[in-house]
Structure 1
């Protein structure tokens, strides 16, 4: 569906500032998700108990049959991993559609080797079940991967896949936060920026599991496909909640996603816009995410931002302002009137006694992180007094945890990696707690933490950002 038929923002300089091209950055109101289909042929939670359906056993058999094939066979397990190694886009706006097509063709190959066209991939809902499913630890089966860097009882942390995070992603009405940033060219692997869906739960699960999952050969681990099925389920859920919104930019819509093998072993490509037909790509799930609202309806607020008006609503700080390179470092930003007014407008609905429509946001773009140590993650805080690895994620100052995946592979991250987050709710919490009065300076702090142990100090220079930009929309 073309965005010209809907009431969405056509932002100009904001899109440039956030790595999006004209027509790609949009806001609208929230809608409740439709009830999931009751059809048998849907992708289901791996823990679902459905009479007459043993989806885990079927998947295990498909994996075993694919692993038994010669590596150069297009339908083999290794060939599927090499597709990801050589073609996958990360850190740009083709991340979601490419992986949807990738899942579809992998699922089609499973159907072919099983001689069962009704087969559907299960998904791993890592918000509900925070450990890798038990079936993937049985060494007697094809689902076991020996080089994972976790144990069966390890649980992913709440700031990576928790309910608060997923609700924020579903509520988000700025496309760049879901799709990731726009490229300037038709290069499928051109780095842009990572939105919150990609940078946090997606990257975080890859980092959490480790081993092959920590590399671009991650499809060698059978849990990869269930992980990405859940990412796709979240995209499908978001689409339902946001009136099946689409990016209208021609570069995005007309790009040919390359390349995949169909069930006959033939090379196929897909035009990006076709992936929005979820039924065509089997992107149908037993359960979709919903957004709970205290009011019956959140009105859509059409907005328009001019080039002149938006140019003044950006606040930038460079890495030369970052202090201590030990356990934490901070950037100090002297607030100006346009940003002050943007923060006030964006936080007002969140601070109101009664629910009001959200028609403005404050975005933070963190740019140019050169990752020297992939064992390090990065937590971001605003106006935190003494930030450290022990600062809880429940702190009103907490913004996000950045997880690094696939850095330095192919065209990914050549000039450092970039991330975008919505920090509107953080500013609202800061106001409520008295840590931000609406007029003072803004301090952005970065706390490096260990990959396995969040309270383990790391070195900031290993993941130091070059620039931070706040943009008020």
Structure 2
């Protein structure tokens, strides 16, 4: 089996880094249960960064009892009635609840391997206006803001956008609407700046990525960012651009973000971008750290197949698209049912790393989550990521339905709104864009819809897959270190399923317990049933490529290893590789970048209702 896709140079590597400390691994559902007592214990929840002169002391009348490895839902039974439904503390509520962001914030230093040479501050706490948190109120204006493709724009749209960004950059740095403070929002939320203190778990960080919080959090982030910019130029119709990288015409960095060689500086330009990827270089939506030796035409075709894979084949059910469940008490560094969504681990991560500057110690700006918000291109990128949610829903495919779990609906965040008020927002209020008074110019389809990888010609395939270097799942001793290509024979739950069965249930490959250094760029690719004849190379355009798992540096939780899971749709892949009759699927995991400390704990195939 060929383990390579389009020919690449050696993957980019970062500078030597310090080794991880031997910090104990925290279980997924470590519970902090507060006993009732009349004694008062004063403790500091967390510390502001040195440049934010606020310390938050909070009275706590309940010391903690730590009970590891117990599912919260079984707690009442396990304690034999010691705690009842009426006296269980409110801290055990399920939805993730962001605390007061101005008083419960700590320095986000994880994800920054080379702190000495970091070009952005790790002090990401927002300024305090000493205002109470208000409830969110839907906008009542009649005007709907229409977000526009950055590559196809009017002069008026560009001038308004530049004027708004310039106004934001001109604000004092300690203003909650300043460019610096808006950039810090992503750093704080995505690099462990906040803990689940309001849920009763002050020692467990909140992590936006690798779960079902990814889409709604970023939607709210952009919602307020857009409205702040509009207010700065007194324009209630102001709308953000989106980097339309799912369209061939938009598959380069848009011109409006280029450096002005002559004339005044462009407020949309950021110096910390990969010089190799400036226009006219075509984006690589499956970027793995190395450069492709291919033509623009082939790269575009592979990009379109990647979008199709992320939205259709690997996003066939709600969990696969949004990511796995993540609730109060869940630790981001633990094994569990959390998994990364298809878009997040796919084109989203690829574009972050493709833009980031490899000459910097930490791949600033877009190449690291703590620094991404300093590049105006980040917001156009995430506007298109947000648009992927709309495109996915509007496909009208069975299984493409919104989340309805109360733990997701009632998860909440706190932001400064356009009026400098602290506002608490909930997931349940963001999935209908019409209520938020914005839309996208293009909300359906695209050329990627016709980019399902072509079915493999049987003439190009061997009669069977060689099992000489293939292990069975039973032969593996988990966790398995993924420091070289690993080929595994995995039993399928059913073969030769009918069209009716496929319409009701999707066949999914699950890679569980993916454990990795959260402060490094990590990527491995997954190929299934590759039996192409000698001399042929499997690429992201081909049906054997199931997809990849990728992470850019972010919160390593004080240098602890992180854990996630990945899901890959097999129903179409098996059809297109002529292997529906096979009792076993041969899965090849191909590490690309960050293989140090990269392990997996389980590989299996399941049938998932859609």
Q: TM-score, normalised by structure 2?
A: 0.57
| Counterpart position of 1:392 | 539
How does 1:372-387 map onto structure 2 within 5 Å?
372=517, 374-384=520-530
Contact in 1 for aligned 2:395/2:445 (Cα 8 Å): yes
Contact in 2 for aligned 1:383/1:436 (Cα 8 Å): no
Secondary structure (helix, strand or coil) at the match of 2:565 reads strand
Secondary structure (helix, strand or coil) at the match of 1:162 reads helix
CA, structure 1 residues 182+190, in 2 after alignment: closer, same or farther (shift >3 Å)?
A: farther
Distance 2:478 2:550 in 1: 23
Which structure dedicates a bigger proportion of its chain to helix?
A: 1
> In angstroms, what is the RMSD of aligned CA positions?
3.4
| Counterpart position of 1:234 | 388
Contact in 2 for aligned 1:328/1:388 (Cα 8 Å): no
Please report how far the alpha carbon of residue 460 of structure 1 lies from its aligned counterpart in structure 2 after TM superposition.
Answer: 4.3
Which structure dedicates a bigger proportion of its chain to strand?
A: 2
> Which one of 185, 194, 206 corresponds to residue 352 of structure 2?
206
CA, structure 1 residues 132+388, in 2 after alignment: closer, same or farther (shift >3 Å)?
A: farther
CA, structure 1 residues 382+177, in 2 after alignment: closer, same or farther (shift >3 Å)?
A: same
Please report how far the alpha carbon of residue 269 of structure 1 lies from its aligned counterpart in structure 2 after TM superposition.
Answer: 1.5
1:174 is aligned to 2:327: no
CA, structure 1 residues 73+249, in 2 after alignment: closer, same or farther (shift >3 Å)?
A: same
| Counterpart position of 1:15 | none
Distance 1:416 1:121 in 2: 34
1:41 is aligned to 2:145: yes
> Which one of 426, 442, 447 corresponds to residue 573 of structure 2?
426
Distance 2:531 2:368 in 1: 36
CA, structure 1 residues 410+77, in 2 after alignment: closer, same or farther (shift >3 Å)?
A: farther
Secondary structure (helix, strand or coil) at the match of 1:178 reads helix
| Counterpart position of 1:113 | 232
Distance 1:412 1:119 in 2: 41
1:285 is aligned to 2:404: no
CA, structure 1 residues 472+245, in 2 after alignment: closer, same or farther (shift >3 Å)?
A: closer
CA, structure 1 residues 407+418, in 2 after alignment: closer, same or farther (shift >3 Å)?
A: farther
Contact in 2 for aligned 1:170/1:241 (Cα 8 Å): no
Could you tell me which runs of 5 or more consecutive residues in structure 1 were left unpaired when the two chains were aligned: 1-21, 23-38, 294-314, 350-354, 451-458
Contact in 2 for aligned 1:317/1:468 (Cα 8 Å): no
| Counterpart position of 1:310 | none
| Counterpart position of 1:130 | 251
| Counterpart position of 2:278 | 152
| Counterpart position of 1:361 | 506
| Counterpart position of 1:308 | none
| Counterpart position of 1:467 | 602
1:259 is aligned to 2:259: no
Contact in 2 for aligned 1:87/1:189 (Cα 8 Å): no
Contact in 1 for aligned 2:482/2:591 (Cα 8 Å): no
| Counterpart position of 1:8 | none
> Which one of 404, 420, 427 corresponds to residue 248 of structure 1?
404
Distance 1:196 1:317 in 2: 28
Distance 2:227 2:259 in 1: 25
1:220 is aligned to 2:341: no
| Counterpart position of 1:86 | 188
Please report how far the alpha carbon of residue 40 of structure 1 lies from its aligned counterpart in structure 2 after TM superposition.
Answer: 7.6
Secondary structure (helix, strand or coil) at the match of 2:575 reads helix
Distance 1:412 1:79 in 2: 25
| Counterpart position of 1:344 | 496
What are the superposed Cα offsets for residues 114-164 of structure 1, whole Å, 9 maximum, x if unpaired? 111110001001121222112212152111111112431332225468222
CA, structure 1 residues 436+170, in 2 after alignment: closer, same or farther (shift >3 Å)?
A: closer
Please report how far the alpha carbon of residue 409 of structure 1 lies from its aligned counterpart in structure 2 after TM superposition.
Answer: 4.1
Contact in 1 for aligned 2:496/2:581 (Cα 8 Å): no
Could you tell me which runs of 5 or more consecutive residues in structure 2 were left unpaired when the two chains were aligned: 1-93, 95-142, 191-207, 288-301, 357-363, 451-471
Distance 1:402 1:395 in 2: 17
| Counterpart position of 2:64 | none
Please report how far the alpha carbon of residue 340 of structure 1 lies from its aligned counterpart in structure 2 after TM superposition.
Answer: 4.2
CA, structure 1 residues 413+202, in 2 after alignment: closer, same or farther (shift >3 Å)?
A: farther
